[in-house]
Each structure stands twice: as C-alpha cells, then as structure tokens.
Amino acid sequence: MKKSNAIVKVFQGFNEMAKIPHPVLTIGTFDGVHIGHQKIIKQLNEVAERIGGESVLFTFYPHPRMVLFPESHGLKLIQTQVEKLDKLERMGLKNIIVHPFTQEFSRLTAIEFVRDYLVNKLNIKTIVIGYDHQFGKNREGSIELLKELAPIYDFEVIEIGAKDIDEVNVSSTKIREALNQGDVALANTYLGEEFQINGIVGHGQKLGTKLGFPTANIETNNDVKLIPKNGVYATRVVREDDSEYFGLVSIGERPTVDDSGKITIEAYLIDFKDDLYGEQLQLKLLKRIRDEKKFDSLDELITEMKNDEERLRNWIVDYNW
C-alpha cells in the first residue's frame, strides 16, 4: 500500500524517543482521524512551522475505554491501530507518540500527566488543544488547568475555539452511527476519505467461482474493527502492488447458501482473473448498493449478482476520481 513520502517519527512511548526540538503538541485518541481531527492537526502543523518547532501528536493504545471497561466497553473502532497510524503519517506531522494506555497510567492526575510526561519527559513548549478537551484521572484536566500550569512550567497554550471545532459538526460517534446504518457515503464525508477494511485473502468455500463470480474471502483478524451494516457495497480494491480495481464487497451471513450465521466479507473484483490467496487487500468502501437478501434459489442469487455488477458499472461512469 502507498505510504506518504513525508518523514515522520513514530515513538512507542518515551523509552526510545529522541529529543524533539521545541515540541508543539496536541493530545487525543483520534479514532477515525476524521475531518475535525484533521483541522486540529493542520493548525498544529501551522503553529509548529510558524514558531520553528516540530509538531507532536500524543495518542494512546489501546483505546482508554477498552482498558477502563474491559468487560463492558462494547467499543468498535473505526480504524485498526495500523490504519490509524497510516492515516496520521499522511497528515504532515513530524512526530507521533503512541503511549501505552494502562490502568496505572489512567490513575495519573491531570497535573501529574502534565508535569511528569509533557514537561519532564517531552519538555513541551507549546500545546495546541481544543476548548473542550479533557484528560487525566476522571477527565479532570481541562483547557483552564493547562492555562494555569503554563506559566509555572513555561509552556504556551493555544486554544482551538468552539467555532473552529463545532462548525465541522463531526465526531467519531457520528461516524460509527453512519457505518452501523450502512451509510458509508456519509461516513466517508466525515472521514475525508473512504472507510477502509484491510485483510488477508483466505480460502473460502469457492462457491462464488462456481456461480461465475469468484470472490476473495477477506480475513480481518481483528475483533474490535467496526464492520458496517450487512449489505453489498461498491468498493475500490487496492492490491499490495498498489494496482486498483472496482469491485463489490458483500458483508453478511450469506443466508442463501449458509445457515451458520457467521459474518463474512467477500470481495468481487470486476475485470480481474488472477489469484489473490494470501494477499493483503485494502477495501475502500464507496457506496451501499443494497441490503443483504435471502433468495429462494441459486439462480435468483446469480441474477441479482449480475444486476449488482451492472449497477456498479453504470455508477463507475459517473464516479468522481
């Protein structure tokens, strides 16, 4: 898959982190790295360039809710950690710190976090933060606290105001809701790019080949990745060599041919005849074509699959690259 040419340093915590000259920092979980996040990162980069510093994004892994509520978090992530870092690395950042989020770390007070991590470990000089951002034990930290600590520890606070953040009118929760409804077009608008599912092509039952529609069975091997509502989606499929194909992705239980109830992800690439087994594919979902259906016969299923392909080919003509 294509990577950004920008040079960005990614640190797993502080143990191997090199000294960063005049760090300009923002903090957050950044699930989805949506257009609201991108606005914050853009301002972070602009501030860093203006004052001759280096932008630093401080984020966490695993997601805090998964550590604080391991048995009941019920959280599905818009991106895997690999997908999140890939997107962040394309945002023009100079440094990314991924700090392990643990029970012990969660018990740090907001003042301890600022003093022990941002000041003593990172030697922060400037922090760019949203007006409503909360951090530290029991989310007690706030923009007001940072402004109180700034003169004590000699750093500057640049606040991103309500107008700049709220006018974007997007959140990770809204994106999850859109995906759970199958509205990937809306989710893509919020994300600023196509929602992705990445996985390895495994061996399925080869039923698609017998029906005249050979499909790649996608194994994500990630139980916290959010998978959109069952249905058939128009998709761009990117191979390991960066070649791209339009295709159809079916997400669901395959009720016509399988009564196990297992959710599968199958990709059919139009005008493609090669072998994909064992290959990593990137599925970029574009538009939901229809619901998942149970057909009375395989002939009805084949007819509908032909209709799906025709819908896709007609839609491709007007697709805006």
SS3 content of the chain, % helix, strand, coil (to 5): 30, 25, 40
**Would you state the pLDDT for residue 295?**
86
Q: How far apart are CA 192 and CA 169, in angstroms?
A: 13
**Would you state the pLDDT for residue 216?**
92
Is 153 within 8 Å of 119 (Cβ atoms)? yes
Burial class of residue 264, CB neighbours in 10 A (0-12, 13-18, 19+): middle
**Would you state the pLDDT for residue 72?**
81
Burial class of residue 281, CB neighbours in 10 A (0-12, 13-18, 19+): buried
Burial class of residue 50, CB neighbours in 10 A (0-12, 13-18, 19+): exposed
| Contact residues for 163 (Cβ-Cβ < 8 A; gap 6+) | none
Strands 54-61 and 95-100: what pairing? parallel
SS3 25: strand
Neighbours of 145 (CB within 10 A): 17
pTM: 0.91
Query: What interhelical angle do 184-191 and 172-180 show, nearest 10?
Result: 160
**Would you state the pLDDT for residue 298?**
84
**Would you state the pLDDT for residue 205?**
62
**Would you state the pLDDT for residue 164?**
77
Total H helices, total E strands in the chain: 11, 12
Query: Tens-of-pLDDT digits for all 321 residues of the chain?
Result: 445 546 899 999 887 777 898 999 999 999 999 999 999 999 999 999 999 999 999 999 999 999 999 888 889 999 999 999 999 999 999 999 999 999 999 999 999 999 999 999 999 999 999 988 999 998 999 999 999 999 999 999 999 987 777 777 899 999 999 999 999 999 999 999 999 999 999 986 666 555 667 899 999 989 899 999 999 999 999 999 999 999 999 999 876 677 677 899 999 999 998 889 999 999 999 999 999 988 888 888 889 989 999 999 998 887 654
